[in-house]
Amino acid sequence: MNEIIPLIKCRQLTLGYGSKDLVRDLDYDVNVGDYLCIIGRNGSGKTTFLRGIAGLLKPKSGDIELCEGLKRSEIGYLPQMTLVQRDFPASVEEIVLSAFQGKFRLLPFYGRAQRERAMECMALTRTESLRKSCFRELSGGQKQRVLLARALCAADRLLLLDEPVTGLDPESTETMYRVINDLHKKGMTIVMVTHDVDSALDDATRVMNFDQISVKGR
């Protein structure tokens, strides 16, 4: 990295649920072009921090600033799968296309450009053959790749990943990492929460360890 330009600035950031603080007084910048891996044991606040960046959790104090004119609609997000989604009647294509809802606020239906972009993202995650399949009938790994395809469609500048390889077989895991790494090389900023420390560290340009942060913060 030649020049360090912050994309997200966290200042005096405190995040948590109820009376419990999981992140306290954190100062941290995610920079343009980072491949940031967030590691730490369960309950250390990794996912909470990611949800904060994603705008899903309001800071209790301090703030998270999107810099360089970054808009929410330029962020791709791969959340952990929810219970509702497991038996949801929807085709893969419908799910991937839903990524564009944030970008085109007034667009009631999808056009050719969006369909083509969706196809590209499905090709990248090897899900184009599943295009017409029903989401609830896919395997865990296939579901995860579909959600990655959706995240890619939404991501123009920043990609947030919450444990993207959980429950994947080794082959799918490798594909997942290769896709993410390729994107990073093309200039995408990546923030990934993961348990898979060894492989994560191969590609990452920065690592944030929540075990140490929480020790320091408390």
Interface residues with another protein (CB under 8 A) are: 51, 54-56, 71-73, 75-77, 79, 82, 84-85, 88-91, 94-95, 97-99, 101-103, 105, 107-110, 132-134, 137, 150-151, 154, 160
Q: How many CA atoms lie within 13 A of 144 on its CB side?
A: 18
Q: In whole angstroms, how far apart are CA 215 and each of 45, 147, 212?
A: 12, 34, 5
- Please identify which residue in the block is written with the tokens 């590609």: 203
Q: Residue 100 or 214: which CB sits closer to another protein?
A: 100
Nearest approach, Cβ of 157 to another protein (angstroms)?
12
Q: Is 56 left (phi over 0), alpha (psi -120 to 50) or beta?
A: alpha
Nearest approach, Cβ of 203 to another protein (angstroms)?
23
- The residue among 24, 2, 21 whose CA lies nearest residue 13 is 24
Q: In whole angstroms, how far apart are CA 110 and each of 104, 142, 144?
A: 9, 24, 23
Nearest approach, Cβ of 84 to another protein (angstroms)?
7
Q: Residue 54 or 203: which CB sits closer to another protein?
A: 54
Nearest approach, Cβ of 39 to another protein (angstroms)?
21
Q: Residue 163 or 214: which CB sits closer to another protein?
A: 163
Q: Residue 57 or 213: which CB sits closer to another protein?
A: 57
Alpha helices in the chain (DSSP H): 46-53, 83-86, 92-97, 112-124, 140-154, 170-185, 197-203, 210-217
Q: Residue 17 or 182: which CB sits closer to another protein?
A: 17
Nearest approach, Cβ of 136 to another protein (angstroms)?
8
